Amino acid sequence: MNPDLDPDRSLALAYVPAKLRPSIEALWRLDVALGAVLATGRDPMISRIRLAWWRESLEKLDRQPAPAEPVLQAVAEHLIPLGVSGEELARMEEGWAVLLTPEPLEAEELRSYAHGRGGLLFRLSARLLGDERPFVTSAGERWALVDLARHSGETDSRAAFEEAKASGDRPIWPSPLRPLGMLAALAQRDLERPRDEMEQQGSPSRMLRMLRHRLTGR
């Protein structure tokens, strides 16, 4: 399995310095792979088992070679040597696992998902980019909530969208972090439109918004 990034992240990745791009790509593709477990699974119990396999496989990377799985091999090659441990990466599973609840997501569950997925994903990305800032976590959480609103059913989509609106601020992003800031800017752009009118990812208007952020940090 070698999951594709969504068009927004593919564009943001192009602005990552070439020497850092393989590590950021490996991290973001791991996130996509974990999400694919839920997107392709019909039985929540089976999805839990598959997520547990990912968690255990990531933890094992701290002490043994990667199995014959492309995402894990990329993690072992491009993330572990840079000091991002398998144990840290395994915590992303906790965020995704929140979505397996059979009931509509409550505010606390949405916050747990956002922190465990987007907050951690952005923090680790910022570490790799060499500039960790306090606001990165909340930006990642908001991005994850908007992404959930884009891809989930009506009830959870509405709840995630409203939770995202209630969170975060709008900092000026330093130059090294602007590939991440682009994603945060697009999430904010989505929140400024009606939920059922969010733009198609990778559209020309989103590309222009990303370019503006690249130049201004806003």
Q: Which pLDDT score is estimated for 110?
A: 97
Q: Which pLDDT score is estimated for 42?
A: 80
Q: Which pLDDT score is estimated for 20?
A: 98
CA–CA distance, 65 with 183 (Å, rounded to integer) = 32
Whether 55 contacts 88, CB under 8 Å? no
Q: Which pLDDT score is estimated for 168?
A: 67
Both tokens assigned to 153: 């059913």
Q: Which pLDDT score is estimated for 116?
A: 97
pLDDT at 132 > cutoff 80? yes
- Sign for the CA dihedral angle at 67, 69, 72, 77 comes to positive
Q: Name the 3-class secondary structure at 104.
A: coil
CA–CA distance, 50 with 126 (Å, rounded to integer) = 28
Q: Which pLDDT score is estimated for 58?
A: 98
Dump pLDDT digits (tens) for 138-154: 999 999 999 999 999 89
DSSP 119: I
Dump pLDDT digits (tens) for 164-178: 998 767 889 999 999
Mean pLDDT of 64-69: 96
The rounded percent of the chain whose pLDDT value lies above 90 is 90
Domain ranges, ordered by start, for the chain? 7-216
pLDDT at 28 > cutoff 60? yes
CA–CA distance, 163 with 114 (Å, rounded to integer) = 10
User: Could you identify the residue written with the tokens 């939770």?
Assistant: 163
Dump pLDDT digits (tens) for 85-124: 999 999 999 999 999 988 999 999 999 999 999 999 999 9
pLDDT at 2 > cutoff 80? no
Q: Which pLDDT score is estimated for 207?
A: 94
Rounded to 5°, the CA angle 200-93-78 comes to: 80
Whether 179 contacts 13, CB under 8 Å? yes
Both tokens assigned to 108: 């606390």
Find the Cα–Cα–Cα–Cα dihedral 1, 97, 5, 217, rounded to 10°: -150
Whether 7 contacts 201, CB under 8 Å? yes
Q: Which helix (H) or strand (E) holds 192?
A: none
CA–CA distance, 38 with 1 (Å, rounded to integer) = 15
Q: Which pLDDT score is estimated for 169?
A: 73
176: left (phi over 0), alpha (psi -120 to 50) or beta: alpha
The rounded percent of the chain whose pLDDT value lies above 70 is 99
Mean pLDDT of 65-94: 97
User: Could you identify the residue written with the tokens 């009506």?
Assistant: 154
Q: What is the pTM of this model?
A: 0.96
Both tokens assigned to 147: 């992404």
pLDDT at 56 > cutoff 60? yes
Q: Which pLDDT score is estimated for 1?
A: 55
Supply the mean pLDDT for the chain: 95
Whether 157 contacts 149, CB under 8 Å? yes
CA–CA distance, 83 with 89 (Å, rounded to integer) = 11
The residue that leads in pLDDT, 174 or 39, is 174
